[in-house]
A and B are shown apart, each in its own frame.
Chain A
Amino acid sequence: MMKEITYAQAINDAMCEEMIRDETVFFMGEDIAEYCGAFGVSRGMLEKFGKDRIMNTPISEQAFVGAGIGAAMVGMRPIVELMFSDFMCVCFDELVNEAPKMRFMFGGKVKVPMVMRTPSGGGTGAAAQHSQSLEACLAHFPGLKVVIPSTPYDAKGLLKTAIRDDNPVMFLEQKTLYRTKGMVPEEEYTIPLGVADVKRSGTDCSIITYGRMVQMSLEAAELLMEEGINVEVVDIRSLVPLDHKTMIESVRKTRHVLIVHEAVQFGGFGGEIAGQIADSEAFYYLDAPIRRLGALSCPIPFNPNLEKAVFPTVEKIVAQVKSLL
């Protein structure tokens, strides 16, 4: 049986199900209790689980992310929410120097099963400090896992897996997707991390993407199909671990690849994907340069027209695919 729910509800469902399943799971963050979080993701959770497990924190990202790590080290499974992914910069020490390194530094004697959930990306008019996509920074640190779901189905299945994972998982949600709807099974299911999903099968060009760019890429694929160009859309779903095999197979098949992400193109994760393709047997099948499409190297502007100009759009994706063929 399937039901149609929003991306936000899928995340809410995943958290609720895991909290029922496992008493060590709890949730903390800024204004997540009565206020239900900046994007209403935790609606109804306080009523269900009470203040002990749905905990409003002070505006102290270092404190509550650090506390999440500490609690995780002694057997809890905290979910911490950063109100905006941009705020990870406030607690970068905890996310970068602490969470991913504890296990290694201590010779494998601890685990840090924490999930850091945070709304990421732009398109909401929130301007330069509340619109960034910083996943590439996180993916850079061994010890962290980085997940970015593009649909309600993926969001729920991946978050449940992330909560059960024994490592710190950075779960970057897409603000503009929170209200999008999708079919989700009513039955229990999980999705393993590190398995890409071919959202659309095609023959002429691969678009490797993730997050909200998946939907745009699919729209672009439909437009291109009208012109006889059959595009494959690969949603990597998790940056770490990364499904190398699916990407390479797709590129081998279509011989052309466009990598699309919302994050700034310069130094973005697309560079890693491009590198992996160039460094694989898929290289010999490339019939055009590996192309990336990301945001301009510019802080996200406030004006909606300017904002749109910074990010990839369906039109830009279409144009880039055509330029490759």
Chain B
Amino acid sequence: MSGKNSDHTSDVTKNIEEPISKELKMIMWQMWIDMHLARYFEERVQWLFSKGLVHGTTHLGIGEEATAAGTIAAMKSQDYVFGTHRGHSQAIAKGIDVKYMMAEILARKTGVCKGKGGSMHIADPDIHYFGADGVLGASAVMCVGTALATRKRKEEDRISVVFFGDGTSNEGATWEAMNLAAVWELPVLFVCVNNTYGMSTPIKDVMKDTDIAKRAYPFGMPAKTVDGNNVLEVYHASVEAREYVASGKGPMLLVENTYRISGHSKSDGNLYRTKEEIESWKEKCPIKAFRKYLVENELFTEEELDKAAKTAADEIEQAEEFAKASPEPSFDDLMNDVYA
């Protein structure tokens, strides 16, 4: 756990302007739903995995839901978003229907990638989500490319966002991407979801200075660190970051400190951390904190929030039914997407 992380609290009242506009309230509602969809989706995937119904592997980000929900809520629908391999929450926030996502995870023809990609490659270019990439660092360089394209086309109000983890912040490609985006002043928002562990390795073992934000400075790029478990803080920082990036001043780095409650992948035995540590972070659950804020500030009632959560749970259940009822892809289609 980074020292920097401890500088932040989960006090969701911090930095919130009064009065809350109707528009912001709607965004909060959306974030509430997205976080629940992500949480329930991943819990369901975990369950299906343990039942042997998920082929391959899957990387869950339970506990990290606020980073994706908060950042993507601050983006515009035309923005390009590159997710991570731990990207279910990012895909949901970007707008991929959980039905097609669940079908993809169960390797069905109706999956968002026709069953050819799986959990690690969930993407939907139609809604400008370039998805999860299995090799770390590549998303950052490709994100520079989409930003380059928007600049060439003079699309002023369109930025490119790339999510990556604390681990990937050590990849050379990430640094090359930051340098190139910075020197070409491209509209790229680098979002580092610092969940404290690269797989099993705590960041303090692989970084002399765990303040990842500092890594932007040599490239002449601003950075900001936020409490990634505080969805409103993430949201507001992201709004500001987007404004900066879209203004043509070049890229920016946003570091969102959080914690992965689930294991790295489904084969994770959690041998590298203590139960106490995991339990302490469960207390700092971003959903719990958000509920407390929403209720205490009388933005929504407990009943309304429960109802929304229930609707999300139902949606996941329906997604599972849809996926299970879907056919597997046919061999006829196998070779179709190798070449355009």
On A, residues with C-beta under 8 Å from B are: 26, 52, 57-58, 60, 62-76, 78, 93-94, 97-98, 103-113, 142-143, 145, 166-167
Pick the contact of A109: B126, B143, B148, B176 (CB < 8 A): B126
Binds A, one of B236-244, B277-285, B331-339: B331-339
**Top-4 shortest CB links A-B:** A70-B145, A66-B141, A70-B142, A63-B176
Complex Cα distance, B186 from A101, in Å, reads 25
B143 nearest in chain A by CB position: A70
Contact assessment for B125 and A106 in the assembled complex, using a CB-CB cutoff below 8 Å:
yes
- Interface check B222, CB cutoff 8 A: no
Q: Are B142 and A107 in contact (CB under 8 A)?
A: no
Choice from B123, B144, B172, B183 contacting A105 with Cβ under 8 Å: B123
- Give the residues in chain A near B150, CB-CB below 8 Å: 74
Chain B residues, CB < 8 A from A78: 145
A74 touches B80 (CB 8 A): yes
Whether B111 sits at the interface, judged by CB under 8 Å, is yes
Q: Which residues of chain B are within 8 angstroms of A70 by Cβ–Cβ distance?
A: 130, 141-149, 160
Q: Is A60 a contact of B143 with CB atoms below 8 Å? A: no
User: Using a CB-CB cutoff of 8 Å, which residues 138-172 of chain B contact chain A?
Assistant: 138, 140-150, 152, 160, 172
Q: Considering the chains assembled together, what is the distance between the CA atoms of A139 and B337 in angstroms?
A: 17
B175-234 interface (Cβ within 8 A of A) = 176-177, 179-180, 183
Q: Which residue of chain A is the closest to B183 with respect to CB atoms?
A: A58
Q: Cβ of B135 and Cβ of A97 under 8 Å apart?
A: yes
Q: In the bound complex, what is the Cα–Cα distance between A18 and B145 (angstroms)?
A: 20
The answer to whether A67 touches B123 (Cβ under 8 A) is no
B338 and A103 contacting across the interface, CB-CB below 8 Å: yes
User: CB distance A98 to B145 under 8 Å?
Assistant: no
Is B340 an interface position by the 8 A CB rule? yes
Is the beta-carbon distance between B141 and A106 smaller than 8 angstroms?
no
Chain A residues closer than 8 Å to B134, beta-carbon distance: 97
Identify A106's interface contact among B131, B143, B152, B160, CB under 8 A: B131
B100's nearest neighbour on chain A, judged by CB, is A107
B137 touches A67 (CB 8 A): no
Other-chain residue from A52, A94, A103 in contact with B141 (beta carbon distance below 8 A): A94
Given A58-B179, A103-B340, 14 extra CB contacts under 8 A:
A58-B183, A62-B138, A62-B176, A64-B141, A66-B138, A66-B140, A67-B180, A69-B142, A75-B149, A93-B173, A98-B133, A104-B338, A106-B124, A142-B338
Please name the residue on chain A nearest to B114 by beta carbon.
A107
- Min CB distance B177 to A, Å, is 5
Q: Could you tell me the distance between the alpha carbons of A28 and B216 in the complex, rounded to whole angstroms?
A: 24
CA of A75 to CA of B112 in the docked complex: distance in angstroms?
21
CA distance in complex: A165, B340 (Å): 8
- The CA-CA distance from A70 to B81 in the complex, in Å, is 11
- A143 vs B335: C-alpha distance when bound (angstroms): 10
Least CB separation from B340: chain A residue: A166
The chain A residue sitting closest to B117, CB to CB, is A105
A266-B149 Cα distance, complex, nearest whole Å: 41
How many Å lie between the Cα of A105 and that of B111 in the bound state?
A: 11
Q: Which of A69, A108, A145, A167 counts the most B-chain CB atoms under 10 A from its CB?
A: A108
Q: Which residues of A contact B111 (CB under 8 A)?
A: 107
Decide if B130 touches A73 in the complex (CB within 8 Å): yes
Task: Given A103-B337, A107-B337, A143-B338, decide whether A66 and B145 contact each other with a Cβ distance below 8 A.
Answer: yes
Task: List, in ascending order, chain A residues with CB within 8 A of B126's CB.
Answer: 109
Q: Name which of A60, A62, A67, A71 has the most chain B CB atoms within 10 A of its CB.
A: A67
Which A residues are in CB contact (< 8 Å) with B147?
A: 70
Kindly state the separation between the CA atoms of A94 and B142 in the bound complex, as whole angstroms. 9
